[in-house]
Structure 1
Amino acid sequence: MSAEILDSQVALYDRWHSGERKLQDLLQVRENVQNHSSIFRPYLTTQMQDFVPSLNYFFIGTLDEQGRPWVSFLTGRKGFMNSPHIRLLEIKTRLEVGAGQERHHKAAAATAEYRSAPDPLFHNLTKGETLSSGQRKWGGVALDFANRRRNKMNGVLSSDDILKVDEATGELHLLLTVEQTIGNCPKYITIRELDASTPPSTSEPDAASTSQVLDENSWRPLFKGLTPEQTAIVDQADCLFIASRFIDETIADQTSGMDCNHRGGNPGFARVNGNQIVFPDYSGNRFFNTLGNIMNDERVGLLFVNFGAGDTLQVTGRARVLIGNDAQEAYPHAQRVVQVTIEESVLRPRSLPFRMRTKELSPYNPVTPSHQQRGIDKSAVPAEATLAEITVHTNDIRTFRFTTSKPIRYSPGQYAVLDFGKFNTLGYRHMAPDNPHSLNDDYIRTWTISSAPLGLSSSASKEVKYSSPDAWNEASEFALTIKRKRGGAISNLLHSLSLDPDHPFTVPLICTGGSFVLPDPVLSSTLVPKPSKVAMISGGIGSTPFLSMIRGARQVLTETPLDIQWILSATNVEDTLPEALQDLTAPFTEEGVASDRQHRPTVIVTLFLTGHHTPEEASAVETKVASIPGVKVQFGRVDHKKLKAVVPDLKERRLLLCGPEPFMDAVKGHLEVLRIPSQQILTEEFNF
């Protein structure tokens, strides 16, 4: 039967199942998509038939005898999968076993004391849930990481079409009947390339790292929470694969079915929370096949892969779809969240016969909210923040001072979270090549506060505490120093503003928070106060928390001297905000300090300017910097030798790092060379 004839048999009518309809109604998109179910075809197109033989891997979802989905990663040489007919997918391969796993199999056979947890696929193909017709459901996704091409498909498997399933040898030969296919968009897929190098040989894995504790009467592990090794796989993942299912007797031509699909984002987009895994559902085609299945049947399976190490983690459990406030409580800034309560898990170390390298994350990936934002209390009534003053530093850097509708507390170095949602007028778009990040933009922004409260509260403990917001005076204003971001919706909005008393610019201030604060002084038990030494290292606009910290510290008298060395890297001297440095390093003029044992901080700043400077320009910069007390300048990038030369006692100091990710990675490498213990280093995530 030709594809042209089948095309005429795909009726244009609403055949979404009950779960999909429920979610589409809930999110008010039914009218837009109700007739789009005809996009799903009951066969493989010619393009799909040509595509599948070119792949070395295939992701497939199957059901165990309890009807629970599991996702498996099938591999083989190109051609291990082909389509001899538009309604048929043939898979013939021998699943290779990683080196460590293979030795473990041999050891188990010799001792009979331990059985390695196999891929659930073998069990499900022979003992999984069977329909009254004697068939089993399957769902799969053919995906090429090299070019982000993706095709989804699902169907049934008859017992007569299971030609070979041998767990001992890994041999598979299946004929899968296709019932439904669709081509998916490339959004959120990371481009990867095969690593031609041979996977390293490994020692025999410890039984506990292979899976959960095994039940003697079953091949399955008993779930007792993810192990650290399993959690690590989730934490590093920039994608997962999810299998789901539905049952709906109101659809005459397909009363049940499965779905297996890809979900992607930046590394860390999926998170382990106790016995649950949560991940956001980003803007897509609004069909909601996976989420609709969950609304119909909560059983799901997940697969996580460490492509560099060749490890896989498979879990099965029960899922919920969280929307609105419930979603944001589970995952900051997400409009929709999938929350999976894990029932069972299988970790298979080095189970892949190849390794893959990351080449490019998807440009559509939203920024992953930092760890610091996970504890935001969204039930609190936000204050209103009204723009009161704008200070222009450079063409691209300005300071915005806001007044607040009610007093707030924050520690110097903490951030403010503001809601600019009322300025989101883009509407829905499926793809946006001109600005991919706009598709999932909730217009909530987080910036480090660059101002500081006016000293410590009179009720604060006698022992100075910089770290606690309650130790500082309440404030009715705060300032944000913001660099214009190319293509940034909100930074460009703010930089275009001018003050208008008749039409004040006001947005909700959701909260302040964060753990990146100036360390509390070291209290000395000796008669002579011991200096509390701190080294700050920042790149570009990453200087903003240090502006706040130093401003706060200069307002406080302490018994313990505070010695601050600040290394500030920027392209040009203007980007270092020299007028702010002038204030931070100016000599103190107050008189009548209570005693000789009370101190103000000392601050020494070294600028590293990385832009190109002619000799004349360098001379002009040196002259300008010379007028700022306590500030020195060097030209070039920071490295470990320069760090050591500028701050010889670096090992004696607590280190605070803030800046763009490449800068932070480089500095951490330099500190490793200098053998600075990691516990001495506090870093700020500056990617939110």
Structure 2
Amino acid sequence: MFDSRIPAPFHAGEQRAQHLAGGGPPGAPIRSQLPDQHRHFFPLLPFLCVAVADDSGWPLATLVHGEPGFATSPDPGTLDIAALPDPDDPARAMLAAGADIGLLGIDLATRRRNRANGTLARVDGHGLSVKVHQSFGNCPRYIHVRQLAPAARQPGPVEMFGTTLPAAAVSLVAACETMFVATSSGAAPKRAVRGLDISHRGGPAGFLRLDGHVLTVPDYPGNHYFNTLGNLLLEPRAALVMVDFASGDILQLQGTAQVAWQPPGPEGDALAERSWTFTIARGWLRHSAFPLELRGQV
């Protein structure tokens, strides 16, 4: 029977992060293709989280959406997505065959989440096809449970900004309970694991602390893979995306990150084992761009 587990899945940055954090996982079922449960999971979802890179290699984080079934896996090495980022999404122009891509499928109602990283095999007007290089699940902790349903929205204007956030963006960050972060393992030659990754971060409203254009993000106990923090050790440029589920506003940010490996002080988040700062370089606030709305909380 074919075993798709990758024998040594962690690159040098992840290994270094695991060392700095006091140890890695006892095991890492990271596979080179999608297992059947992931192939059955992605078609259930109405949206996916996506990491791409701009022309300079700086990650961009975004969301794509469609009717459940818009993401399908015709074979274990492929994930087809019958959707594209919206035309006014800065990530749209960065999609090209051969480019790296990171994907996260997350079901907020059940707290299931699975990741797939790879390269774009095809991009056309109908969507894209991903050649999968890595596939793995994540624990459900810190996912704020929500029931989402389709919403009739009329997309509004896009506010582009630099280091000064508009008031609506500041309010969205303050209320945020669900965020996604895109990182890259960099462009080092012969790296063991290539490409882009996008991961979930969650907590109660206020868990993200914004001071001017610097965002502090607590790092809670998890699976000890340290994919995000390991990437940041190799490539500090990163990107964030978060949603106001009431208005449908999507906030996308690019910035540089720095990890503080020591535990937060007495005034910090008691649950956090460490934290990282994200210094915002630029952003986009896309009004009424997310076509799902909140229909209750569990």
- Is the TM value for this pair above 0.5? yes
Cα distance in 2, alignment partners of residues 279 and 322 from structure 1 = 10
* Contact map agreement 2:159 2:286 (CA 8 A) in 1: yes
Cα distance in 2, alignment partners of residues 322 and 125 from structure 1 = 33
Cα distance in 1, alignment partners of residues 214 and 179 from structure 2 = 15
Q: Paired residue for 1:245?
A: 184
Cα distance in 1, alignment partners of residues 85 and 230 from structure 2 = 32
Superimposed CA distance per residue, residues 230-256 of structure 1 (whole angstroms, 9 cap, x where no aligned partner): 11111111010001011354545x3x2
Superimposed CA distance per residue, residues 410-436 of structure 1 (whole angstroms, 9 cap, x where no aligned partner): xxxxxxxxxxxxxxxxxxxxxxxxxxx
Cα distance in 2, alignment partners of residues 273 and 331 from structure 1 = 14
Cα distance in 2, alignment partners of residues 227 and 310 from structure 1 = 16
Shift of 1:11: 5.2
Q: Paired residue for 1:83?
A: 73
Cα distance in 1, alignment partners of residues 20 and 292 from structure 2 = 43
Relative distance call for 1:81 and 1:323 in structure 2 (3 A) is: same
Please give the secondary structure, in 1, of the residue aligned with 2:199.
Answer: strand
The correspondence of residues 30-41 of structure 1 with structure 2, limited to 5 A, is 30=24, 33=26, 36-37=27-28, 39-41=29-31
Q: Paired residue for 1:137?
A: 100
The correspondence of residues 121-132 of structure 1 with structure 2, limited to 5 A, is 121-126=91-96
Query: 2:148 is aligned with what amino acid?
Result: L
* Contact map agreement 1:331 1:337 (CA 8 A) in 2: no
Q: 1:286 aligns with which of 216, 224, 232?
A: 224
* Contact map agreement 1:71 1:243 (CA 8 A) in 2: yes
Structure in which a larger fraction of residues adopt helix? 1
Structure 1 residue 26 corresponds to structure 2 residue 16: no
Structure 1 residue 355 corresponds to structure 2 residue 293: yes
Query: 1:81 is aligned with what amino acid?
Result: A
Shift of 1:195: 3.9
Cα distance in 1, alignment partners of residues 251 and 259 from structure 2 = 22
Shift of 1:163: 2.1
Shift of 1:225: 1.4
Structure 1 residue 328 corresponds to structure 2 residue 268: no
* Contact map agreement 1:279 1:331 (CA 8 A) in 2: no
Query: 1:10 is aligned with what amino acid?
Result: R
Shift of 1:196: 5.6
Q: Paired residue for 1:72?
A: 62
* Contact map agreement 1:76 1:95 (CA 8 A) in 2: no
Superimposed CA distance per residue, residues 483-527 of structure 1 (whole angstroms, 9 cap, x where no aligned partner): xxxxxxxxxxxxxxxxxxxxxxxxxxxxxxxxxxxxxxxxxxxxx
Please give the secondary structure, in 2, of the residue aligned with 1:135.
Answer: coil
Report how many aligned residue pairs link the two structures.
Answer: 296
The correspondence of residues 16-415 of structure 1 with structure 2, limited to 5 A, is 16-30=10-24, 33=26, 36-37=27-28, 39-93=29-83, 118-126=88-96, 135-158=98-121, 161-164=122-125, 172-195=126-149, 198-199=152-153, 210-212=158-160, 221=161, 223-247=162-186, 248-249=188-189, 251-252=191-192, 254=193, 256-324=194-262, 327-328=264-265, 331-333=268-270, 334-360=272-298
Superimposed CA distance per residue, residues 439-496 of structure 1 (whole angstroms, 9 cap, x where no aligned partner): xxxxxxxxxxxxxxxxxxxxxxxxxxxxxxxxxxxxxxxxxxxxxxxxxxxxxxxxxx
More contact order relative to length (CA 8 Å, sep ≥ 6): 2
Shift of 1:93: 2.9
Superimposed CA distance per residue, residues 553-604 of structure 1 (whole angstroms, 9 cap, x where no aligned partner): xxxxxxxxxxxxxxxxxxxxxxxxxxxxxxxxxxxxxxxxxxxxxxxxxxxx
* Contact map agreement 2:238 2:257 (CA 8 A) in 1: yes
* Contact map agreement 1:192 1:358 (CA 8 A) in 2: yes
* Contact map agreement 1:76 1:94 (CA 8 A) in 2: no
* Contact map agreement 1:190 1:358 (CA 8 A) in 2: no
Query: 2:94 is aligned with what amino acid?
Result: N
Superimposed CA distance per residue, residues 597-627 of structure 1 (whole angstroms, 9 cap, x where no aligned partner): xxxxxxxxxxxxxxxxxxxxxxxxxxxxxxx
The correspondence of residues 477-556 of structure 1 with structure 2, limited to 5 A, is none
Shift of 1:194: 2.1
Shift of 1:211: 1.4
* Contact map agreement 1:15 1:251 (CA 8 A) in 2: no
- Structure with higher Rg: it is 1
Cα distance in 1, alignment partners of residues 37 and 81 from structure 2 = 18
Q: Paired residue for 2:5?
A: 10
The correspondence of residues 576-591 of structure 1 with structure 2, limited to 5 A, is none
Shift of 1:94: 6.4
Cα distance in 2, alignment partners of residues 330 and 68 from structure 1 = 33
* Contact map agreement 1:328 1:335 (CA 8 A) in 2: no
Shift of 1:15: 4.0
Shift of 1:275: 1.1
Shift of 1:146: 1.4
* Contact map agreement 2:184 2:238 (CA 8 A) in 1: yes
* Contact map agreement 1:145 1:189 (CA 8 A) in 2: yes
The correspondence of residues 461-476 of structure 1 with structure 2, limited to 5 A, is none
Q: Which moved more, 1:330-339 or 1:45-54?
A: 330-339
* Contact map agreement 2:6 2:31 (CA 8 A) in 1: no
Shift of 1:28: 1.9
Query: 2:288 is aligned with what amino acid?
Result: R
Shift of 1:300: 0.7
Superimposed CA distance per residue, residues 6-45 of structure 1 (whole angstroms, 9 cap, x where no aligned partner): x1x5354x44211111121112214x54xx34x1001011
Cα distance in 1, alignment partners of residues 6 and 216 from structure 2 = 37
Cα distance in 1, alignment partners of residues 151 and 17 from structure 2 = 46
Query: 1:16 is aligned with what amino acid?
Result: F
State TM-score, norm by structure 2: 0.91
Cα distance in 2, alignment partners of residues 278 and 77 from structure 1 = 35
The gaps in structure 2 that reach 5 residues or longer are: none
Cα distance in 1, alignment partners of residues 296 and 18 from structure 2 = 35
State TM-score, norm by structure 1: 0.41
Superimposed CA distance per residue, residues 633-654 of structure 1 (whole angstroms, 9 cap, x where no aligned partner): xxxxxxxxxxxxxxxxxxxxxx
Relative distance call for 1:197 and 1:289 in structure 2 (3 A) is: closer
Relative distance call for 1:188 and 1:358 in structure 2 (3 A) is: farther
Structure in which a larger fraction of residues adopt strand? 2
